Structure 1
Amino acid sequence: MLDRFARPLINPPLNRLGRTLARAGWTADGVTLTGLSLGLVSAAVIAAGAPGWALLPLLASRLLDGLDGAVARATQTTDFGGYLDIWCDFVFYGAVPFAFAVLDPANALSAAFLILTFYVNGSSFLGYAIVAEKRGLSTSAQGVKSLYYSAGLLEGTETIAFLVLLCLLPQYFIPMAWVFGSLCLLTAVARVINARNLLK
């Protein structure tokens, strides 16, 4: 929901930094994989009992997640790069709730619910993208992407803010997971309804 407002603010500095990284020899895929590595480090730090310290690699990971597209635009975009980017995102988004379950077994049920809702929401997003590609639909409302990004109640901006809150307030993981997971389900249902109206 907030991505369309955040993108005009963050894209110009990201593009400048992306061009700098490209000139320094970085590849978009290298940035993507480095971002995933940092995201997994943040999950490991959470699981080890230091969610507050996990903020540093988590935020660095999300910065690189935004930079890989900027590097690609400064060099060459590829279909594999877009695929790798979305795959790494889903690995990261599954790793963080899993880490909170490892941190405290009392979190396990709410972590499982959160991962389920990420899966449900992600499938509604990717399924729509596949059919949109087949029909030649496109949008740049959330920035220039390698696949169709259907808008929703919860998008990247909201998810990053949620993960930051989890690291800052780990004692509230259970209620926050249930609330955010429920909003993920609402987002998925809205996407399915929207797809039914547009694609029938």
Structure 2
Amino acid sequence: MLDSKGRHLVQPFIDKTAHNLIKVGFTANTITTIAFIIGILSGLFIYYDLPYWAIFVLWLSGFLDAVDGTMARLTKPSSFGTVLDVSYDRLVEISVILGLAFRFPEAMWALLLLSVAIIYAMTIFLTVGAVSEKQGVKSFYYQPGLAERTEGFILFTLMIIFRDLLVPLTLLFLVVEVFTSLQRLREAKKILS
């Protein structure tokens, strides 16, 4: 929801960063890969009890993830770049979940349920994007919902900081993902019927 509704507030900074990176010779796919490498460090930092470093690299990777898409649109977007972007995003999320699960094994059951909910929500998102004739700014139809990347990062941040509330926060994230899945299924029925 925040990605769809609030992107215009941060887009000028994203644009400036994208232009500067293009000017010095970076490609969108290179930034996608750098964002991925930085992002997966979050799980290691969580596991080694460095929560603020985990949050820093998570959000830096998220910012670069927004920049790479802008860079692609300013240069030459590629279908392979889209595949890299979407798959690397999931691996960063998996890194956070694994870091939390191995650091706090008592919460593993809730994190496993959250993983299932994220997989299902992303399956709907990607399937609707693949079969929809609607086109947007991105290379596929971007189906908005309550839980988009920024909401996920906010919830991951809360889960990393408030460890005593890890299970309730994980279950809150699970409910948000289930709601988003139902929201996207409902919209899919409308646009694909």
Structure 2 portions without partners, runs of 5+: none
Moved more, 123-132 or 163-172: 163-172
Which whole-Å CA distance do the structure 1 matches of 2:186 and 2:72 have between them?
A: 33
What residue number does 1:189 align with? 182
2:160 aligned partner: 167
Give the structure 2 partner of residue 55 of structure 1.
Answer: 55
Q: C-alpha distance in 2, partners of 1:63/1:194?
A: 28
Q: What does residue 104 of structure 2 align with?
A: 104
Residues 88-146 of structure 1, C-alpha deviations (whole Å, 9 max, x = no match): 111111221111010011011011011111101100101110111xxx2123xxxx212
Partner of 2:9: 9
Matched ranges for 1:96-135 at <5 A: 96-132=96-132
User: 2:135 aligns to what?
Assistant: 138
Structure 1 runs (4+) greater than 3 angstroms displaced: none
- For 1:164 and 1:49, the matched residues in 2 are separated by 14
Q: TM-score normalised to the size of structure 2?
A: 0.95
Give 1:170 deviation, angstroms: 2.2
In the comparison of the two structures, how many residue pairs are matched?
193
Q: Choose 31-40 or 186-195, whichever is displaced more.
A: 186-195
How much has 1:12 moved relative to structure 2? Answer: 1.7
Q: What RMSD, in angstroms, separates the aligned Cα atoms of the two structures?
A: 1.3
Q: Distance in 1 between matches of 2:69 and 2:190?
A: 31
Deviation at 1:73, TM superposition (A): 2.4
Q: Quote the Cα distance in structure 2 between the aligned partners of 1:74 and 1:130.
A: 23
User: 8 Å contact 2:125–2:184 — kept in the other structure?
Assistant: yes
**Structure 2 residue 86 is the aligned partner of structure 1 residue 93:** no
| Structure 2 residue identity aligned to 1:125 | F
Offset at residue 190 of structure 1 (A) = 1.7
Does residue 77 of structure 1 match 2:74?
A: no
Q: How does 1:18-33 map to 2 (within 5 A)?
A: 18-33=18-33
Aligned-partner SS, 1:84: helix
Separation (CA, whole Å) in 1 of partners of 2:94 and 2:82: 19
Query: Contact 1:39 / 1:57 at 8 angstroms: preserved in 2?
Result: yes
Q: Which residue of 1 aligns with 2:150?
A: 157
Contact 2:100–2:160 (8 Å) recurs in 1? no
C-alpha displacement of 1:74? 2.8
Partner residue in 2 for 1:180: 173
83-92 vs 157-166, greater mean Cα deviation:
157-166
